[in-house]
Amino acid sequence: MQILDGKKLSQKIKSQIKSQTKELKEKYNIVPGLAVVLVGDDPASLTYVKMKEKACKEVGFYSIVHHMPESISQQEIEETIKMMNQNPNIDGILVQLPLPSHIDTTKILELINPTKDVDGFHPYNFGRLMQGLDTFAPCTPLGVIELLKEYRIDPKGMDVCVVGASNIVGKPMAALLLNANATVDICHIYTKDLQSHTKKADMVVVGVGKPNLIRADMVKEGVILIDIGINRLPDGKLVGDADFEAISQKASYITPVPGGVGPMTIAMLLANTIKAARQRIGS
Ligand code: NAD
C-alpha cells in the first residue's frame, strides 16, 4: 500500500509556482492577484481564507480579502464582484462559500468574469469542463487529478466510483475522471445500495462529509481510495469519510486525512490563478 502524499506534492507545486511568479514579474512586470470575498464570521470559512492568504503570500501573489458583515446585501456583494471584474491587478476572484441564506449564491457566482473564475464554479467553465475543453476546473477535484498524475495512476479504463455529487466536489470530479477516460459511477444520498457500487470499483473517490461512510468491507482488494471528506470528530480529531486504518490493509493507494487531498486544493487555487494571469498577458 502506498500513501498518496498531498502535503509533499502541494509543497513541490507551490515552489514551482513561486519561481514562475518571479519569472512573470521579471519578464512581464506582472504579479498574479487573487481577490477573496468573505461574508460573515463562520470559523471554518475564516480559517480557509487565512490559509489561502498565507499561500498567496508564500508564492509572491498579490491578494486582497473583502471581508463583509453577515448582514451585507446582495447588491453590495454584486458591486464588489463587478469592481474586481474590472480591476486589472486581479486575475482570480474567489467567493468563500457558503454565503448567508439571504444571498442568492448562484447569481453571485454567475457574475464573476469566467476568465477570473479560479474556483471553476461559473456555469460557463463547468460547461467547458463537461465538454473536455480547457477551463478552470474546481480546485479540489483538480487536486485529485494532479495527485494521481504524480503517482502515475492513469484512470483510463478504470471503473471509478465517485461518492458525493455536489457542484464543487462530486460532479466536477466525475467530469474530470470521465475526461481521463475512466468509467464513472456517481453515487449520492439517494443511491439505493452504495456498497454494490463501491465494491466493484478500481478507484473510489469519496467527498460527502460523513466519517466512516466507506468501510473496508465496501471496497475490493487493491482499491485506490481517494478521500476528499473533512470531518472534525467531537474529540477534535480530523478524519475523512473512509475508515483509513482498515482500508489501508486492502488498498493499493490511499490518501490520508489530513495531508492528502486537502493541501492540494490550495495548491490548485494558486495554479488556476497563475494560469489566469498568464492568459491575461497571453503568455
Ligand atoms: P455537500 O454537502 O454539498 O455534498 C455532499 C454530497 O454527498 C451530496 O451530493 C450528497 O448527496 C452526498 N451524500 C450525503 N450523504 C450520503 C450518503 N450517505 N451516501 C452517499 N452520498 C451521500 O458537500 P461538499 O461541499 O461536496 O463537501 C463534501 C465533503 O468534502 C465535506 O466533508 C467537505 O468538508 C469536503 N471538502 C473537502 C475539500 C478539500 O479541500 N479536501 C474541499 C471541499 C469539500
Q: Are 36 and 63 in contact (CB under 8 A)?
A: yes
User: What pLDDT sits at residue 181?
Assistant: 98
Q: What is the pLDDT of residues 26-75, one digit of tens each?
A: 999 999 999 999 999 999 999 999 999 999 999 999 999 999 999 999 99
Q: 210: CA distance to ligand 1 center in Å? A: 8
Residues above pLDDT 70, as percent of the chain: 100
Indicate if the alpha-carbon torsion angle 28, 31, 32, 35 is positive or negative.
negative
Q: What is the pLDDT of residue 156?
A: 98
Whether the per-residue pLDDT at 279 is higher than 90: the answer is yes
Q: Does 241 qualify as catalytic in the annotation?
A: no
The predicted structure's pLDDT at residue 57 = 98
Decide whether any atom of ligand 1 lies within 6 Å of the 170 Cβ. yes
Give the Å distance between the CA of 217 and the centre of ligand 1.
Answer: 21
C-alpha cell at 159: 471503473
Q: How confident is the model at residue 283 (pLDDT cuts 50, 70, 90)?
A: confident
pLDDT tens, position by position, 126-171: 999 999 999 999 999 999 999 999 999 999 999 999 999 999 999 9
Q: Of 52, 116, 171, 275, which residue is the catalytic one? A: 52
State the average pLDDT over residues 205-227: 98
Q: What are phi and psi of 67, to 5 degrees?
A: -95, 115
Indicate if ligand 1 lies below 6 Å from the C-beta of 135: no
Decide if 5 is catalytic. no
Going by their DSSP bridges, the two strands 238-239 and 231-232 should be labelled as antiparallel
CA of 208 to the centre of ligand 1 (A): 3
Which atom of ligand 1 is nearest to 97's Cα?
25
Which residue segments constitute the domains of the chain, with CATH numbers given?
Answer: 29-114 (3.40.50.10860), 139-262 (3.40.50.720)
- Angle ∠(20,261,243) on CA atoms, nearest 5: 165
Using an 8 Å Cβ cutoff, are 68 and 38 in contact? yes
Convert the pLDDT of each residue in 175-208 to its tens digit: 999 999 999 999 999 999 999 999 999 999 999 9
The CB of 260 under 6 Å from ligand 1? The reply is: no
Q: Is 188 in the pocket of ligand 1 (CB under 6 A)?
A: yes
The best mutation among 9, 169, 233 to test binding of ligand 1, ranked by most ligand atoms within 8 Å of the C-beta, falls on 169
Helix (H) or strand (E) holding 19: helix 6-28
Q: Is the CB of 3 under 6 A from ligand 1?
A: no
Residue 96 designated active-site:
yes
- Per-residue DSSP letter, 219: S
Which pLDDT tens digit goes with each residue over 62-119?
A: 999 999 999 999 999 999 999 999 999 999 999 999 999 999 999 999 999 999 999 9
State mean pLDDT over 200-226: 98
Q: Which of 243, 238, 245, 236 is nearest to 259 (CA)?
A: 238
Cα separations in angstroms, 47 against 42, 144, 208: 9, 22, 20
In ligand 1, the atom with minimum distance to the C-alpha of 260 is: 41
